[in-house]
Chain A
Amino acid sequence: MTLVKLRCQQAELPCSKTESCYRWSGRCDETFNLAKQTVMNSLRPSPRWVLQFVVIVILLYGVIYPNVDTIVASLQRDGRWTLANYLDLLSQRLALEAILTSIGVSIATVLLCALIGIPLAFLFERYTFPGRNVFATLAALPLVLPPLVGTVAFIFLCGESGILARVVQRALHLQSPPWSLRGWGALLLFHAYTMYPFFYVLTGAGLRRIDGGLAEAGRSLGAKPLRVLFRIVLPQLTPSLIAAGLLTFMTSMASFSAPLLFGGNVRVLTLEIFNARQRGDQSMALTETVVLAVISLGALLLFQRYEGTRKFAAAAMKGAPRRQRPIAKGRTRLLAFLIGVLCSTFLALPVATLLLASFARDGQWTTQTLPPAYTLANYVRILTEKSGSAVFFNSLSMSAIAALAALFWSFCVVTLATTIKRRVMRRLLALLILVPWALPGTVVAVSIAEAYGQPSLLLGSFILVGTFWILPVIYFLRFMPLVVRALQASMEQIDPALPEAAGSLGANWWQRFRRVSLPLAGPGAIAGTLLAFVIALGEYVASVLVFVPKNRPVSIAIASELRDFNLGSAAAYGVVLMVVIAVTMIVATRLERNSTAL
């Protein structure tokens, strides 16, 4: 579950608040604060200007220019500065409705996910019962399921002609399907399924971090368990809960596949941007993009402010860690077990359905509950046909390029951050790196397409849009913050005394870096790289806006098979994608195990 943990670490912005961070700096208000201390000595006379050059150029080309260009374009019409685009947006009822709907859906998603995730975290983190470990692991599963694949699986399972609907229809002898997978209900159900793990994992991590002695102290002072929960445990959990809420909110704002495939008449902002681009209404798409970006970044900044004011000096955590209590009573134990089974079934069902559907003969599965005939033809087709294998080749190579570039880049950034003396500059760097992470994929794709879709200031007559490289570039920009955070987190965990000890033994900066910092931080960085790779593999939101035949990725193939009602082939693509992801995850877990075994 390395990747899952890592993915959730990303939420704890702007600082991962490790215990050592408090110990070392006494304060904890800066990203890069500790990493600075760690590498400071290990890379003192570094080739600084090379790093500076690389970092400035990439930030300029990848983050600053496209975003500024998008904002500028949204403020212009026919070459003149004007607010007309925004006025148009405000005067269109549909656009306004999309903004409000997006926010509404996101808030509802946050509440729903909190309602599911927090109790589950308490159950799995605080108590032991048969099967707990299996359930606890499965509970985080949806985090690594590509959203598009999840959507497809949901359609097969819960759609109006899906397996569940047919089972109910058969059982009750209904004329028509009992429900349709459309609109708010469907959207929220899917969001809850894919995003509740943010709450589950972060609450769990928060619970593990809380000093169990505090709750015991509360009990000894005469507080009842409920009082302890509300006055002691929950207040300490707030940072985790806020982080989870923010992550859920932003993911939900950026959600695209689900509204596209079964949002029905629920109009959300990402969808509107896509539609505006399809219509050719470039300026409306840009303006809506800016609005979406502002909402997402606003949420992030709000969160950062909150983080700045709220600090628990829980530095000294000595004494017994909170133990997990076994549930002794037979009936409660059974209940917990049943909840576990139910959750696991619900979590695993979509994946199982997808597997089943991938073996269905295309066009044969019409009104039956389960596919009537099974075949390997789908797999044979997608893996042997040239267009099929090309799609996999594209996705694998583009994701690998992006992930490796991100790995290299994160070393540059973290190293450079250590040499920057001024706090303002360090914060600026941290913020610029966060921006593409905080922005929805739609926004990143639109702004890059806008900036490099025509001869531009920075690239001259070279047009990036329409080439193979547009997607690797976007994948890199979107997912490099994950790798930077992962590397930074593992750098933070290195005891600052280790590079110092190496220095006192006569090792110069290169020897310290290669023989101490790199072996210790490497596994974490590689796990981060694999996470970026896995997420890039299933990327759909940004890809659908700018892909060309030359770099058609798997997600686009799935969507087009779906449109042609080749359900079996769509499912087969999804299954192969999941297998690749599962293998990558196993590798990452191995890496993590090796690194913690030290």
Chain B
Amino acid sequence: MPLLTINKISKRYERTPAVKDVSLDVERGEFFGLLGPSGCGKTTTLRMIAGLEKPDSGTIVFAGRDITSLTPEARGFGMVFQNYALFPHLNVLENVAFGLRARHKAKSEVTQRVALALELVQLPGYEKRNVGELSGGQQQRIAIARAIAIEPALLLFDEPLSNLDVTLREETRSELRELVTRLGLTAVYVTHDQEEAFALCDRISVLAAGIVLQTETPRELYEHPAGVTVARFLGRNNLLRAMRLSSMKTELGEFRTLDGRHNLRLPVKPGDLPPLNQPCTLSIRPEHVLLSRGNTQIDENVFPAVVREIQFAGATSIIKLDADGLLLEALVLRSDEFALNDSCKVALPAGRIALLKD
């Protein structure tokens, strides 16, 4: 049985719906991500889990108990806020001890657990510091220490790394993951950064406009996005508008692109076949687009193209191609083989092409 079950919760602000019928399951010990562009309802969902907002409809069940109308303080979940929300009038010790003191723990226990929590976030001995004099990264760690000091049943993160600079963010990210795993905690993590979600989470729900689009592991999300929105949101992608041609073979679908009118063949399960002569969308990641100057080994889905633009990005390069009006991006390791306006062959491996549901 999942530890946390969210069953069709909805929330409106005034007249605008923020979250519509969101359902999720979070397993014990799982690091679960809520990913989506700003305004997609991910933070609202998290706040409803925390009890800071009350859903208009739907239920939230935690460990077999309906907690939908429970106050935040009665839930015992730790939360790390985007701006850390450290109490400015209290020092580090008092901040981390806040939850323990609210539970009227004995003084010795409070001191001991605060010290332990600070140890865990690698800031031992910072008890007497004023929170105002800490750096952003340190404040971030104190916020995490404060949340884990209460030994939360569930740990909630609301974009905790978005205020840090890039290098610090990557460093903190791996430490955070390691810490949560070591303590055996279950976490729900809200972010708009796809890379961050991929690096941290066991499973991710992609949200847009208050709706869950897809819930999957990062790899599955990346390689088999369920719809156009997910495919667009998760990294660079080539989206090809195409039409299914009549084909006798049920194993391989045959499509013709609307731009360039190239024929493509890809494996499609019989149940997923789109109706004939209706536009649909295919996707292929730029790193799966193969480029060559001469003949290729692959003979399927190959057609000529012209190099239109080369974007050098250090280790890799993005090459933009024009194949008779079909615009494609290819990610290559070496771009020095190609020059602007070169003719080349482009191949789209059948197994790498995904058929998207609109």
Q: Do A and B bind each other?
A: yes
B174 interface residue, CB < 8 Å from A? no
Q: Which residues of A contact B79 (CB under 8 A)?
A: 500-501, 504
Interface range on chain A: under 10, 10 to 19, 20 to 34, or 35 or more? 20 to 34
Residue of B nearest to A499 (CB): B85
Is A500 a contact of B52 with CB atoms below 8 Å? yes
Is B83 a contact of A503 with CB atoms below 8 Å? no
Residues A507 and B73 in contact in the complex (CB < 8 Å), given A500-B52, A515-B98: yes
A566 interface residue, CB < 8 Å from B? no
User: What distance in Å separates the Cβ of A508 from its nearest Cβ neighbour in chain B?
Assistant: 5
Q: Which residues of B contact A497 (CB under 8 A)?
A: 81-83, 85
Q: Which residues of B contact A502 (CB under 8 A)?
A: 87, 98, 102
User: What distance in Å separates the Cβ of B150 from its nearest Cβ neighbour in chain A?
Assistant: 6
- Per the 8 Å Cβ criterion, residues 485-522 of A in contact with B are 495, 497-498, 500-508, 511, 515-516, 519-520
State in angstroms the CA–CA spacing of A497 and B77 once bound together: 15
A41 interface residue, CB < 8 Å from B? yes
Is A41 a contact of B52 with CB atoms below 8 Å? yes
**Which of A498, A507, A511, A598 is within 8 Å of B85, CB to CB?**
A498
Is B81 a contact of A519 with CB atoms below 8 Å? no
Residue-wise interface mask of B (143-158) relative to A, using a CB-CB cutoff of 8 A (1 in contact, 0 not)? 0001100100000100
Residues A504 and B78 in contact in the complex (CB < 8 Å), given A41-B72, A497-B85, A520-B88: yes
Is B85 a contact of A495 with CB atoms below 8 Å? yes
Is B132 a contact of A501 with CB atoms below 8 Å? no
Residue of B nearest to A45 (CB): B71
A77 interface residue, CB < 8 Å from B? no
A323 interface residue, CB < 8 Å from B? no
A563 interface residue, CB < 8 Å from B? no
A44 interface residue, CB < 8 Å from B? yes
Residue-wise interface mask of A (161-181) relative to B, using a CB-CB cutoff of 8 A (1 in contact, 0 not)? 000000000000000000000
Is A503 a contact of B72 with CB atoms below 8 Å? yes
Is A505 a contact of B89 with CB atoms below 8 Å? no
Is B98 a contact of A504 with CB atoms below 8 Å? no
State in angstroms the CA–CA spacing of A495 and B86 once bound together: 10
Q: Which residues of B contact A503 (CB under 8 A)?
A: 51-52, 71-73
Residue of A nearest to B96 (CB): A505
- Per the 8 Å Cβ criterion, residues 38-84 of B in contact with A are 50-52, 71-73, 75-79, 81-83
User: What distance in Å separates the Cβ of A421 from its nearest Cβ neighbour in chain B?
Assistant: 13
State in angstroms the CA–CA spacing of A515 and B78 once bound together: 18
Is A507 a contact of B102 with CB atoms below 8 Å? yes
**Which of A44, A495, A515, A520 is within 8 Å of B71, CB to CB?**
A44
- Per the 8 Å Cβ criterion, residues 543-587 of A in contact with B are none
User: What distance in Å separates the Cβ of A502 from its nearest Cβ neighbour in chain B?
Assistant: 7
State in angstroms the CA–CA spacing of A397 and B311 once bound together: 78
- Per the 8 Å Cβ criterion, residues 244-268 of A in contact with B are none
Residue-wise interface mask of B (82-113) relative to A, using a CB-CB cutoff of 8 A (1 in contact, 0 not)? 11010111000000001100110000000000
Is A506 a contact of B102 with CB atoms below 8 Å? yes
- Per the 8 Å Cβ criterion, residues 224-279 of A in contact with B are none
State in angstroms the CA–CA spacing of A80 and B103 once bound together: 66
Q: Which residues of A contact B147 (CB under 8 A)?
A: 504-505
Residues A520 and B89 in contact in the complex (CB < 8 Å), given A497-B83, A506-B103: yes
Is B78 a contact of A505 with CB atoms below 8 Å? yes
Residue-wise interface mask of B (138-180) relative to A, using a CB-CB cutoff of 8 A (1 in contact, 0 not)? 0000000011001000001000000000000000000000000
**Top-6 shortest CB links A-B:** A505-B99, A497-B85, A503-B72, A501-B85, A504-B79, A507-B102
Q: A516-B87, A520-B88, A598-B89 are in contact. List 16 more A-B contacts (CB 8 A).
A: A497-B83, A500-B85, A501-B81, A501-B85, A504-B52, A505-B73, A505-B78, A505-B98, A505-B99, A505-B102, A505-B150, A506-B76, A506-B103, A507-B98, A508-B71, A598-B88
A-B contacts, 25 of them at CB < 8 A, read A495-B83, A495-B85, A497-B85, A498-B87, A500-B50, A501-B81, A502-B87, A503-B52, A503-B72, A503-B73, A504-B50, A504-B51, A504-B73, A504-B77, A504-B147, A504-B156, A505-B102, A505-B146, A506-B102, A506-B103, A506-B150, A508-B73, A508-B102, A515-B98, A520-B89
